């Protein structure tokens, strides 16, 4: 079936502008994650949604970052007043509900490359 999709694939924006990044998880997956990956760096956890529970926002780097997930499916990551240090690849992943262990397998989208000029 279809994998995780993200849009846009590339986004160039001017410093100070707001951007919205979209993630469509795999159908039936209850968990959705956002990560950020800077050049040569590991994946930095941003936020996690699980079903109807309150999201885990512990990884958001500042209050300029927010995310929502509508209807338990599509998610949007919003960055307000973008800064140059926000330039990175933003990756979304989803996980199936789970039998023992499987809920930790994450299926990643191709990412959105954000460049702030």
101 binds other proteins (CB under 8 A): yes
Task: Select from 12-20, 37-45, 68-76, 78-86 the region that touches other proteins (CB under 8 A).
Answer: 37-45
In the complex with other proteins, the residue whose CB is nearer, 5 or 66, is: 5
65 binds other proteins (CB under 8 A): no
> Which strands form 19-24's sheet, in the order they lie side by side?
5-7, 19-24, 75-79, 65-69
Q: How far apart are CA 90 and CA 79, in angstroms?
A: 11
Task: Select from 13-21, 31-39, 60-68, 71-79 the region that touches other proteins (CB under 8 A).
Answer: 31-39
107 binds other proteins (CB under 8 A): yes
3-state secondary structure of 93: strand
Half-sphere exposure of 6 (CA within 13 A, CB side): 25
* CA-angle at 40, arms to 78 and 96, nearest 5°: 55
Smallest gap from residue 66 Cβ to other proteins (A): 18
Name the site residues for other proteins (rule: CB under 8 A): 4, 31, 33, 35, 40-43, 45, 48, 50, 56, 91, 93, 101-111
């Amino acid at each position: 079936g279809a994998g995780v999709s993200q849009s846009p694939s590339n986004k160039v924006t001017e410093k100070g502008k707001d951007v919205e990044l979209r993630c469509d998880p795999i159908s039936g997956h209850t968990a959705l994650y956002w990560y950020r990956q800077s050049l040569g760096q590991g994946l930095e956890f941003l936020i996690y949604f699980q079903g109807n529970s309150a999201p885990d926002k512990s990884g958001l780097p500042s209050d300029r970052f927010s995310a929502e997930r509508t209807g338990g499916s599509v998610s949007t990551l919003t960055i307000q007043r973008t800064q140059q240090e926000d330039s990175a690849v933003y990756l979304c992943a989803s996980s199936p509900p789970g039998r023992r262990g499987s809920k930790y397998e994450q299926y990643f989208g191709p990412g959105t490359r954000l460049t702030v000029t």
